[in-house]
Chain A
Amino acid sequence: MKAILVLEDGSYFEGRAFGYSGEKFGEVVFNTSITGYQEILTDPSYKGQIVCMTYPHIGNYGVNSEDIEFAHPQVEGFVVRELSPLVSNWRAEEDLDSYLEKYKITGIEGVDTRELTRKIRIKGAMRGGISSVDLNPKSLLERVLQSPQMVGRNLACEVSCTQPYYFQEEGEVEIAVWDCGVKKSILQMLAKNNCRVKVYPVHSSGEDILKDKPQGLLVSNGPGDPAAVIHVITELKKLLGKLPIFGICLGHQILGLALGGKTYKLKFGHHGGNHPVKDLNTGKIDITAQNHGFCVDPDSISDCCQITHINLYDKTLEGFRHKKMPIMAVQYHPEAGPGPNDAKHIFKEFVDMVKNNA
């Protein structure tokens, strides 16, 4: 079956449909990870986005029930050059095509994904739509232009849990996780570092969290524009200085905003598993997993915070620590999933910060 991908600049790509036959809209971004499509598909941070994989062969190792960041895929649509005709891996339980169909994710294959990637790099991230039901680029473009812009979009509320729950009930330190769309790997890393992990929905208030007397708080990753997650920013302000706080990705941005900083949108974001991040204290470089379209302006927080990490690709902010309060944040994904494990030590640093605070 044919499918078409239309971008808001009017350009379009024809290809074959796979997964769910239908029509989906979202911001089109590219991810340069060669492996890890399953983690990418299920990462709640991709809510509202259509992901294009730059590596041409996708689906080679199928899908399994272990390598997921959420119970089901979160992306709006999926763009690949070539879907594998066969699955080859000892852990594979299903092929990608039927997996996406099951979860109603529309895919398009046979696209010159490099051309698409270059287009996004040069023009910036754009809204787009994939359709296997309307193959007319003009009418599809109209609907693309009606779809929401990423800037100003609060998507965290769409992917957060709705009730608090324990991810891990045993542990040395009690950590609260403010779920803006948290990845399973983050929770697993906390658990691995011997934390008792309780997850709170995005709409929780500061008091909701404080009353359980957690020893530390992690503000999670998540989709959308951080500046739109006003509720969390407001509530978080109340918690500053009251307990150690760690922000990851969207959590990093929200923390920055809560500390009085500013965020801005990157041209096409960072989505991949090969970005070098330098720890400015040690000089060490970690190769990191990245997935964000917004960024904290380092100048806007430099009064109260020390810049701890920068991205060596474009010198953007990758991490900070508050000069006085036990607050730390990283823009990248130390939990990997997918991507390198280089930065997993960050979780221990957070746990140590929590312990030292006691």
Chain B
Amino acid sequence: MPKRTDIRKILIIGSGPIVIGQACEFDYSGTQACKALRQEGFEIVLLNSNPATIMTDPEFADRTYIEPITVEVLDRILEREKPDAILPTLGGQTALNVAVKAHDEGVLKRHKVKLIGANEEAIRKAEDRELFKKAMEKIGLEVPRSDKAYTLKEARAIVERLGFPVIIRPSFTLGGTGGGIAYNWEEFDEIAQRGLSLSMINEILIEESVIGWKEFELEVMRDLKDNVVIICSIENFDPMGIHTGDSITVAPAQTLTDKEYQRMRDAAIACIREIGVETGGSNIQFAVNPEDGRMVIIEMNPRVSRSSALASKATGFPIAKIAAKLAVGYTLDEIPNDITKKTPASFEPVIDYCVVKIPRWAFEKFPQADSTLTTQMKSVGEVMAIGRTFKEALQKGLRSLEIGRSGLGYDGKETERSVSDEELRKKLIIPNGDRIFYIKEALRRGMDIDEIYELTRVDKWFLAQINQIVIFAEELRQKYSYNLFSQKGEGPPYEVLYKAKQYGFSDRQLAHILGKDEDEIRRWREDKNLQCVYKLVDTCAAEFEAYTPYYYSTYERENEARHTKKKKIAILGGGPNRIGQGIEFDYCCVHAVFALRELGYETIMINSNPETVSTDYDTADKLYFEPLTKEDVLNIIHQERPEGIIVQFGGQTPLNLSVPLREAGVNILGTSADSIDRAEDRRRFKQLLEKLDIHQPPNGTATNLEEAKRIAHEIGYPVLLRPSYVLGGRAMEIVYDDEDLERFMKYAVQASEEHPVLIDKYLEDSIEVDVDMIADGRIQIIGGVMEHIEEAGVHSGDSAMVLPPYSLPDEIVDKIKQYTIAMARELNIVGLMNVQYAVKEDTIYVLEVNPRASRTIPFVSKAIGVPLAKLAAKIMAGERLKTLGFTKEVDPGYIAVKESVFPFNRFPGVDIILGPEMKSTGEVMGIDTDFGKAYLKSQIAAGQNLPTQGQVFVSVKNKDKRKIVFIAKRLKDLGFSLVATSGTAKVLKKHGVSVRTIYKIQEGRPNVLDLMKNREIQLIINTPSGKVSREHEVKIRSHAVQYGIPIVTTIPGAQATVNALESLLGEQFSVKSLQEYHREMKGVDYARVTRGRNDSA
């Protein structure tokens, strides 16, 4: 069936900000869809609030709306654009939800627009548990016994019937938000209540427990002619009861016979047909009882998902791209398989390797959070690794995680070795993010596989594989360790080392086991000519020739890497998403690839994150899906011999490799190593600032407590403390007195000569500013100056930011620009540089200079209409800004606000207060003509349901009480009534603001929690009272998150919120595409700057 001709213009909905459960996999799917459909000649309109995405780059759609993803916005876009169809299946749950809501509210009908891919009926049938259950029963498939409830009473009655344990699943939420497993009434009541409130339709499902069963997923595709294919089977290492996003998963399924696999396949096909997903991809989950093979269907996602991104990367079959083409009428046999070119997409990929996905958690950021893994997803990112065997893939995956591990233990970081046997058993029974290491440890201690299976319900096949790793490592240590025998000579024989490499051991692990250092192991290998080979991911297990150079390393005989004679540049990606290192860096890497391809280089992408656009096989000329470690990267360099390598764009992960790579003789492009050192070395940086006469907050470096105290007294409290060896705000803290300082020095860090603690004067109530700049060694151009809304001390990754600055006087802004350029000139920056400043009482202090791509690059690029990362990559390859056409700073003429999005709803009970430690997972952008409107958009996009009327609860610390008066008055003027506890109320009344006084939590009832639960509070302004928040404050704040009540925790935030409320109550806000904004902007010839549209767009 050829392409539909009744459709010309298609609206694609993106997934919004990165949150837990929805990460950059939807940028990957959305970008693929935009590209595929534009190639087919469709006009594409895009809605997505996330500026850090590739899909929202203006050249990926005809009209790009960076606006909140709400029905109101959708309505307005439909009004303006009048598309023929909406494709809602590529933007995660967010896109599906808004599409269904728009349908229910009659918006789709009014604009005569249809959903393609999956219609509202199919979406509902898949998402509504009751309808789903009925549908599955109709086609003879078993589902776990269950019932749904709308009240706690109903819920309890169901549990009486089913018995404990039960699984609670709220309907219509993201990634299982609010779900959980309950083993007793107390847990049940808590989870059920939370679920009821989080569900969009106040509905929860209570389900028979299949905890401990084997979990499988199939990725299914269907076309309009009802052809159905399975793209990939996935077996979860972790059994049922752990969200698949939090499970280690393995492709293909390992422990099903063909009969059992085909039964599952038949069920999946029947399921997609019955649900009625017309075209595209779906993910279907099954549970299998390991005792008797009873199979139940768990759920179906009628859209592409995290798993489909994984399946695409695991097989080489681009699910989202094909899904987009199927949605517009093509059938599978009409679409060629890109990789083999000669065969069609109507087939089922087979693989001849093993793929392991491992989640990356960020519990270190949320120490109070419960780190037990349940049916509610908690991980923030993931890595994928490919090996010829599970063992190899698992070890490669573990060393890709950026958690300091070099594989499955044997790396000198084995905290699991120090736990007692009793503790170890507990770690096996209660699922946690480190369980894989505890399993290894249990095997090492000689616990048998059957016992570990009983405790973990991890399939024995996996346990046996791990056991092989353990047995081998122990043998290696006993026979060849230099520590044990202080042998001389060449180390273990070739065959032993070869087997070690086949088992996935890194050089670092071998070094640790053998008592050598990493470089020595490398030399041994080189001497023995023991090198890895590269094999292709080709969708067909080598049955056909593959044309796409998508590689993974392994230790085998044949090397399939092809030699090319083009000039090559390698780009190092960012590894797994985690807090502080997210999609922004992948965005930059992808731009670097685009830019260098435009310049005619062969680009080589190296990355381990399956969610990303960078690991799409058609982004770079060559893709190496590999861990970003020194060993793995050097192996690729050895194979490819590129002219240079770019480490500037992938965030901290590749930067950490720059020193070892440079030492190994790799040519690192961009700003020189010496300049980077001058910016990063405290002493040299101080000299540089002195030379340029630029201020810095008073600071010092301490290697012990006494020294720290002395410095703190010298510069005066409060001071900002941080260990020198971690970035992204890890373990950063503001301390106000000696007591705090002592606690920090004792427990938070272990200072030493090698790892001193950095101490900075904390500039209270100062305004923080971020500047992104680009330079080619000759000229330096400001990309953008962003004023933070929250005061300095809140991590720059967590602050809301405004471009251009909205409150700073022009002289200050000008001076900031001058400083920036002066520093860039002095450092001879080639590429990007980011500077953070604090402005206090008209004095400008430099907080930090980072000579590389920053988190704000995508936001700034979109705000000013200039792709900074792309330009920077070209500069690094030798181009000049002048020839690239970017010689003047851009004043956009409108206001762009970046707001951060936090995962607090996943971590009940965790305090949401912002500080020097970054906690946000994603960002949104609001653009409009004035600050209030732009800020309002950013708040709506971030999920703050700002009210138009009702009661505002105000409770602020003493220091803020004066400042709150004006805010309170404005709220009154806007028609809100105020509620406050005694202290704040007293101040407000004194200033003539009428306010209802209520009890503090500890005073009596009704208190604010009662009002919140009764939905009598529509907005909360609560600033923390001190360094260590009082328990009841934390309660208020975490309840606000739970009940979805907007909450503001800083005074500047409150002021901005009032501006937003004024806009909300004023005229309706309008929507406008990025292309229109950019066209209206003066002084930029966007087309010239991007040098025409990039070829792949």
Contacts from A to B (Cβ < 8 Å): 13, 30, 32-36, 38-39, 54-57, 60-61, 64, 66-67, 81-82, 84-86, 88-91, 112-115, 117-118, 121, 272-276, 278, 283-285, 287, 312-313, 336-341
Contacts and interface: CB of A to CB of B under 8 A. Distances in A.
Contacts, number: 163
Given A81-B389, A84-B464, A284 B350 contact: no
Given A54-B543, A340-B262, 16 more contacts: A32-B541, A35-B257, A54-B350, A85-B465, A85-B468, A86-B449, A89-B255, A112-B557, A274-B350, A275-B347, A276-B346, A285-B332, A285-B333, A287-B347, A313-B347, A337-B258
Contact-size category for B: 35 or more
Contacts of B449: 86
Contacts of A82: 388-389
Given A86-B464, A312-B344, A118 B542 contact: yes
A281 to B, nearest CB: 13
Nearest to B499: A110
B354 A284 contact: no
Contacts of A273: 258, 348, 350
Nearest to A92: B257
- Residue among B258, B261, B467, B558 with max Cβ neighbours from chain A (10 Å): B258
A205 B527 CA distance: 68
B229 interface: yes
Contacts of A337: 258
B390 A91 contact: no
Contact of A272 (B259, B344, B350): B350
B333 A55 contact: no
Interface stretch (B289-297, B373-381, B670-678, B952-960): B289-297
Nearest to B223: A285
Given A114-B535, A118-B542, A336-B262, A33 B347 contact: no
Contacts of B783: none
A115 B352 contact: no
A193 B293 CA distance: 26
Chain A at the B interface: mostly helix, strand, loop or mixed? loop
Nearest to A84: B461
A64 B560 CA distance: 37
B558 A112 contact: yes
Contact of A312 (B343, B348, B535): B343
Contacts of A67: 257-259
Nearest to A113: B352
A34 B252 contact: yes
Nearest to B343: A313
A39 B233 CA distance: 20
Given A57-B254, A88-B459, A275-B347, A114 B556 contact: yes
B354 A56 contact: yes
Contacts of B342: 313
A84 B468 CA distance: 10
A341 B266 contact: yes
B38 interface: no
Nearest to B461: A88
Interface in B551-570: 556-558, 560
B303 to A, nearest CB: 23
- Residue among A56, A61, A89, A340 with max Cβ neighbours from chain B (10 Å): A56
Given A67-B258, A88-B461, A56 B388 contact: yes
Interface of B: 225-227, 229, 233, 252-262, 265-266, 290-293, 332-333, 342-344, 346-354, 388-390, 449, 459-461, 463-465, 467-468, 535, 540-545, 556-558, 560
17 contacts: A32-B541, A54-B350, A55-B352, A56-B388, A57-B354, A60-B254, A67-B257, A67-B259, A81-B389, A82-B388, A114-B535, A117-B352, A121-B544, A274-B540, A276-B344, A336-B262, A340-B262
Contacts of B542: 30, 54, 114, 117-118, 121
A66 to B, nearest CB: 7
Contacts of B557: 13, 112, 115
Contact of A66 (B254, B259, B333, B346): B259
A33 B293 CA distance: 21
A50 B560 CA distance: 25
A341 to B, nearest CB: 6
Nearest to B345: A276
B258 A338 contact: yes
- Residue among A114, A275, A287, A336 with max Cβ neighbours from chain B (10 Å): A114
Contacts of B354: 56-57
Contacts of B343: 312-313
Given A61-B256, A86-B464, A272 B543 contact: yes
Given A90-B290, A285-B332, A339-B262, A56 B353 contact: yes
Nearest to B259: A67
Contact of B350 (A33, A90, A312): A33
A89 to B, nearest CB: 6
A56 B543 contact: no
A56 B266 contact: no
Contact of B261 (A35, A85, A283): A35
A56 B355 CA distance: 12
B333 A276 contact: yes
B543 A117 contact: yes
A234 to B, nearest CB: 35
Contacts of A115: 556-558
Contacts of A66: 259
Contact of B460 (A35, A81, A86, A340): A86
B257 A61 contact: yes
A90 B293 contact: yes
Contacts of B351: 34, 55
A274 B543 CA distance: 11
- Residue among A66, A91, A274 with max Cβ neighbours from chain B (10 Å): A274
Contacts of A287: 229, 347-348
A267 B844 CA distance: 75
Contacts of B463: 86
A36 B261 CA distance: 9
A340 B258 CA distance: 9
Nearest to B387: A56
Contacts of A284: 225-227
Contacts of B464: 84-86, 88
Nearest to A119: B558
Closest 3 CB pairs of A and B: A36-B258, A86-B464, A338-B258
Contacts of B292: 90
A287 B535 CA distance: 26
Contacts of A35: 253, 256-258, 261
B464 to A, nearest CB: 4
